[in-house]
Structure 1
Amino acid sequence: MTATDRAVELVQVAAEAAADKLAQEVIAYDVSEQLVITDAFVLCSAPNDRQVRAIVDEVEDQLRIKAGAKPLRREGERDGRWVLLDYSEIVVHVQHEEERGVYGLERLWKDCPEIDLPEKSRGAERTPLDEQ
């Protein structure tokens, strides 16, 4: 089983919206074979809480405008360190770069297939220090 066409469409819109707000290292995984609750994860980060919130707002706006999608849940907004947007077919994780380094979601989901994103959607690359 692989991510549905609708899930891939939502991933593309979310990734582009995140990159438009200068999200760092936008990546998406097809988690449909591992989880029954969603098809894909979109991961990205930002260097400060304010930018995390800006990315979240843009992703939510663009998914509503371009794909007619509304999140079922929005968690973590108060702290602005790790905001999760649950759209059922996809889950978008926008993390402060410190949280991204600590929790390492890429390490948890590295065995899942990566969903191809357009180059402009990948966002800024992380520095080698971020990988530690």
Structure 2
Amino acid sequence: MTAAQFSIDIMRVAADAARDKKANNIVAVDVSERLGITDAFLIASADNERQVNAIVDGIEDVIAEKFDLHPVRREGRGEGRWVLLDYQDVVVHVQHDEDRVFYALDRLWSDCPLIDVSESTTTPASVSEEPAETPEAE
């Protein structure tokens, strides 16, 4: 069993939102084989508490807009060190860089497959890679 396509789509949108807010080291992990309660984790980090909260706000806004989803649970928002957004099918972890190293979620789930959330995976297939031609001024 692998993560459902809907979960993967949410992960990619969340990763893009995190990237837009300058998150570091964005990783998506397919935990569907290990956990029966969720499909995937998105893990991202930031240099300071303010940036952690900005990333969380950006992710929540984009997921609400694109999927009309809101977290069923949010933990750690006040401290801004490790914020968890639980969307049931996916769980988003945004951590301060120091907490990311200390808790090592990447290592804890290292036996699970990764989900490709690179920027290129979210570009629609219909968008041309070549720049549009501009008309010459006359």
Show structure 1 runs of 5+ residues with no match: 122-132
Which residue matches 2:37? 37
Q: Report SS of the residue matched to 1:107.
A: helix
TM (norm. structure 2) is 0.85
Which residue matches 1:15? 15
Q: How many residues align?
A: 121
Instruction: Read off the aligned partner of 1:80 and give its amino acid letter.
Output: G
Instruction: Read off the aligned partner of 1:30 and give its amino acid letter.
Output: D
The separation in 2 between residues aligned to 1:75 and 1:68, in whole angstroms, is 20
Q: Report SS of the residue matched to 1:33.
A: coil
Q: Considering only aligned residues, what root-mean-square deviation do their CA atoms show, in Å? A: 1.1
Instruction: Read off the aligned partner of 1:64 and give its amino acid letter.
Output: A
* Ranges of 4+ aligned residues in structure 1 off by more than 6 Å: none
Which residue matches 1:124? none
The structure with more radius of gyration? 2
Greater relative CO (CA pairs within 8 A, separation 6+): 1
The separation in 2 between residues aligned to 1:111 and 1:80, in whole angstroms, is 28
> In the TM superposition, what are the counterparts of 1:29-108 in structure 2 within 5 Å?
29-108=29-108
Quote the offset at 1:120 in angstroms. Answer: 6.5
* Per-residue deviation, residues 19-54 of structure 1 (Å, max 9, x unmatched): 000000100000000001100000000000000000
The separation in 2 between residues aligned to 1:64 and 1:98, in whole angstroms, is 29
Q: Percent identity?
A: 55
The separation in 2 between residues aligned to 1:30 and 1:116, in whole angstroms, is 10
TM (norm. structure 1) is 0.89
The separation in 2 between residues aligned to 1:67 and 1:22, in whole angstroms, is 22
Q: Report SS of the residue matched to 1:38.
A: coil
The separation in 2 between residues aligned to 1:68 and 1:20, in whole angstroms, is 20
Q: Report SS of the residue matched to 1:3.
A: coil
The separation in 2 between residues aligned to 1:10 and 1:19, in whole angstroms, is 14
The separation in 2 between residues aligned to 1:76 and 1:117, in whole angstroms, is 24
